[in-house]
Amino acid sequence: MQRFFQFFSRPSPPTFNLLSLGYRGTGKTVFLAGTYVCLHFNRKKARLNQIWLDCQDLESRQTMDQMLTYITQTRQYPAPTFKVTDFNFSVKTRTLCGVKTLCHLHWWDVPGEFCQPENADLQLLLFSSHACCLFIDAPAFVNNLSYQQKIENILRQLTQFLPQSQVNRPHYPLAVIVTKYDLLQSELSRGQLKQQLKPFIHKLRSLQINAHGFTSSIPLVSFGASVTLHPQGTATPFRWLIAELKSTSRATG
Ligand SMILES: Nc1nc2c(ncn2[C@@H]2O[C@H](COP(=O)(O)OP(=O)(O)OP(=O)(O)O)[C@@H](O)[C@H]2O)c(=O)[nH]1
Ligand SMILES: [Mg+2]
């Protein structure tokens, strides 16, 4: 009888660990909050197949609420991250049969110091993760040669470690997210950025790493007396990551 019910019951949604990686002040936490905010509106919309994030536990909800309240009250971006913060989310969507949980997500928001060569904790987090977002500061990347070299270093690290963490999870997704794109005003600097990034992405792909480049703009915008994050482009890398994670987990059963 139990088997009969098991046959009809839905398999429980998988849980994925997502690692945010990038130097101090790159925009990791702003991207996390921006993604949550922009997907939040999908929860209310009646449209099918849109995804959103629900906090899975009280701690994640409180941390997220505190961060969003801090932004509105101080009219500032969130404070720097001083310890690894683990947000537990459920990724949800609306289908014809109602609301469905696609997967659970442990999103690790780490302090910038983690992004140092030879950091054993970083290696550990990489091995335990199912996907990674590497954040690159757009204005710094365009204007600062030593920042480009730092990015080259961290990419070299990733190319050393990712193939090993891929052993049990081929196609490990790596989203390379260029933040603060709104601060690059001219088309010239935007074009320059894309040209400068191309060799990095090609190098990753030549090593069979499932890498994809994205841009993200999350300015702070005033609405009357209030201030809020105004994310543009944040949903695209997030949707890509979820689609890649889901297809990998289907393939590996
Ligand atoms: N204009 C603009 N500024 C941004 C954006 N994202 C981040 N910033 C700025 O960059 C600062 C740092 O962003 P955070 O998200 O805190 O950076 P982080 O990578 O989490 O940094 P640590 O936690 O210190 O490692 C913010 O306080 C903003 O001033 C963006 O999309 N647009
Ligand atoms: Mg942070």
Could you read off the pLDDT tens digit of each residue along the chain, which spans 253 residues? 555 555 555 678 999 999 999 999 999 999 999 999 999 887 777 678 889 999 999 999 999 999 999 999 999 999 999 998 999 999 999 888 889 999 999 999 999 988 876 788 888 888 889 999 999 999 999 999 999 999 988 888 888 777 655 555 668 899 999 999 999 988 888 998 988 888 888 888 888 788 899 999 999 998 887 898 999 989 999 999 999 998 877 655 5
Q: What are phi and psi of 50, to 5 degrees?
A: -85, 145
Distance in angstroms (rounded) separating the CA atoms of residues 242 and 92: 11
CA-CA distance, 162 to 148, in Å (whole number)?
20
Find out whether the beta carbon of 13 lies less than 6 Å from any atom of ligand 1: no
Q: Ligand nearest 31 Cα, by number?
A: 1
The pLDDT value recorded for residue 205 is 81
Contact 139, 148 (CB under 8 A): no
Q: Are strands 98-109 and 85-95 parallel, antiparallel or unpaired?
A: antiparallel
Q: Give the dihedral sign, CA 188/193/199/204.
A: negative
Q: Is the CB of 165 under 6 A from ligand 1?
A: no
Positive/negative CA dihedral, 66, 69, 74, 80: positive
**What residues have their beta carbon closer than 5 A to ion ligand 2?**
28-29, 81
Closest CA to ligand 1's atom 32: 180
Q: Chain centroid to CA 48: how far?
A: 23
pLDDT of residue 3: 55
Spatial distance between the Cα atoms of 228 and 70, rounded to a whole number of angstroms: 10
Cα–ligand 2 centroid distance for 92 (angstroms): 25
Distance 84 CA to ligand 1 centre (A): 16
Distance of CA 131 to the CA centre of its chain: 9
DSSP symbol at 184: -
Atom of ligand 1 nearest to the CA of 216: 31
Distance from residue 109's CA to the centre of ligand 1 (Å): 12
Closest atom, ligand 1, to C-alpha of 111: 25
Span from the CA of 94 to the centroid of ligand 2 (angstroms): 31
CB contact burial 197-211 (16+ within 10 A = b; e otherwise): beebbeebeeeebbb
- Residue 154's pLDDT is 87
Burial bucket for residue 180 (CB in 10 Å: 0-12, 13-18, 19+): buried
Distance between CA atoms of residues 56 and 62, nearest Å: 11
Ligand 1, atom 12, residue with closest C-alpha = 25
Write down the pLDDT at residue 98: 87
Which residues have CB under 8 Å from 235's CB, separation 6+?
35, 38, 39
Is the overall model pTM greater than 0.85, yes or no?
A: yes
Beta strands in 62-185 (DSSP E): 85-95, 98-109, 131-137, 173-179
Q: In 3-state terms, what secondary structure has residue 172?
A: coil
User: Is 219 touching ligand 1 by the criterion CB < 6 Å?
Assistant: yes
Residue of the CA atom closest to atom 28 of ligand 1:
77
DSSP, collapsed to helix, strand or coil, labels residue 99 as: strand
Residue 244, H or E segment: helix 235-252
Ligand 1 in contact with 30 (CB < 6 A)? yes
Q: What are phi and psi of 32, to 5 degrees?
A: -60, -50
